[in-house]
């Protein structure tokens, strides 16, 4: 069973660009290492999904934590950032 915990999740501006970035950490408490973990991030404004993206985190050893960041190219910070109500993360697969 996958036991990956996502924490310190932040949605913000990517540097000085108008892009949105999702940053955080993932901790592997599964009892085994993973070469790659596919993560789905879903961002909402109220109950409407505005982003649904899968990205990969490579080299996640058992018992370790790793920082990640994913730039969301299709969203403009100035247009949607103030209205974002939640961000959810799920492990799609790991190997």
- Mean pLDDT across the chain, nearest whole number? 96
Calpha distance 54→59 (Å, rounded): 17
Task: With beta carbons less than 8 A apart as the criterion, state whether 81 and 43 touch.
Answer: no
Question: To the nearest whole percent, how much of the chain has pLDDT over 70?
Answer: 99
Q: Structurally, how many domains does the chain consist of?
A: 1
Where does the pLDDT of residue 8 fall: very low under 50, low under 70, confident under 90, or very high at 90 and above? very high
Q: What is the CATH number of the domain that holds 26?
A: 2.60.40.10
The DSSP line for the chain is ---EEEEEEEEEE-TTSSEEEEEEEEEE-SSS-EEEEEEEEEEEETTEEEEEEEEEEEEE-TT-EEEEEEEEEEEEHHHHGGG--EEEEEEEEE-
Report the predicted TM-score, pTM, of the whole model to 2 decimal places. 0.91
pLDDT digits (tens, 9 = 90+) for 56-71: 999 999 999 999 999 9
Task: Give residue 66's domain range.
Answer: 4-94
Confidence (pLDDT) at 2: 82
Strand partners, 34: 60
pLDDT digits (tens, 9 = 90+) for 21-49: 999 999 999 999 999 999 999 999 999 99
Percentage above 90 pLDDT, the chain:
95
């Amino acid at each position: 069973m996958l036991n990956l915990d996502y924490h310190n999740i932040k949605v913000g501006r990517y540097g000085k660009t108008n892009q949105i970035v999702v940053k955080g950490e993932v901790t592997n408490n599964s009892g085994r290492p993973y070469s790659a973990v596919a993560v789905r991030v879903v961002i909402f404004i109220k109950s409407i999904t505005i982003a649904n993206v899968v990205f990969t985190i490579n080299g996640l050893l058992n018992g370790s934590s790793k920082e990640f960041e994913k730039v969301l190219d299709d969203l403009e910070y100035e247009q949607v950032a103030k209205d974002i109500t939640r961000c959810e993360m799920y492990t799609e697969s790991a190997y």
